[in-house]
Amino acid sequence: MLQMKTHYPDATRVEPSNRHTLAIIVDNEPGVLARIAGLFSGRGYNIESLTVTETEHEAHISRITVVTTGTDSIIQQIKSQLERLVPVHRVVDLTLTGEAVERELCLVKVVGKGDHRVEAMRLASAFGARTLDATLTSFVYELTGTTDEVERFIKLMTAVGLVEVSRTGVAAMARGAEGV
């Protein structure tokens, strides 16, 4: 929560801080990601998740999906500053478009024998994770889900022998017929 200063010392207001998912359409050219990351870091904003890929090969257009947290005024400031960057074509706050579809992919390596191995297989099955690699002492699982599902899976796998995690970050899209 962010404390807001007022002209009345006894009247402090607290503006809530919320998670926002931003879709940023940019030219696919060198330095664009650095400029966007620099905008966030230079102003003390945190990037919780970041994914980037070229979405229109012929037009050299990329989509950057950023998950960040801030008050409504901070998020509005971030969007306004992003829109002023030259290679940025559009900024859409998917959080405001209604419930967006969000998914994250993670790879999880688990080492264990006996009961730990059996429990790892049970958890993977319960979460719908795919087995990508299996040896006598280890597994590599792939899970696609919401950030909360991925977090729960990782937490539970920690108890049975989690060794390594690799995550993609959030990919998101607004529901409905309209595109970004």
At residue 5 the predicted structure's pLDDT band, cuts being 50, 70 and 90, is low
Burial (CB count <10 Å: 0-12, 13-18, 19+), residue 119: middle
Smallest CA-to-CA distance from 152 within 116, 106, 115 is with 106
The pLDDT of residue 9 is: 55
Looking up tokens 């967006």 gives: 100
Rounded to an integer, what distance in angstroms lies between the CA atom of residue 45 and that of residue 64? 16
Q: Which of 104, 4, 6, 93 is nearest to 49 (CA)?
A: 104
Please give, one letter per residue, the 3-state secondary structure of 5-37: CCCCCCCCEEECCEEEEEEEEEECCCCHHHHHH
Helix then strand then coil, % of the chain, to nearest 5: 25, 45, 30
pLDDT in tens, 23-49: 999 999 999 999 999 999 999 999 999
pLDDT in tens, 87-120: 999 999 999 887 889 999 999 999 999 999 999 9
Which phi and psi angles does 12 have, rounded to 5°? -90, 135
Q: Which amino acid is at 8?
A: Y
Q: What CATH number is given for 101-173 in this structure?
A: 3.30.70.1150
Do 2-93 and 101-173 share a fold? yes
Indicate the domain borders of the chain.
2-93, 101-173
Class of domain 2-93: alpha beta
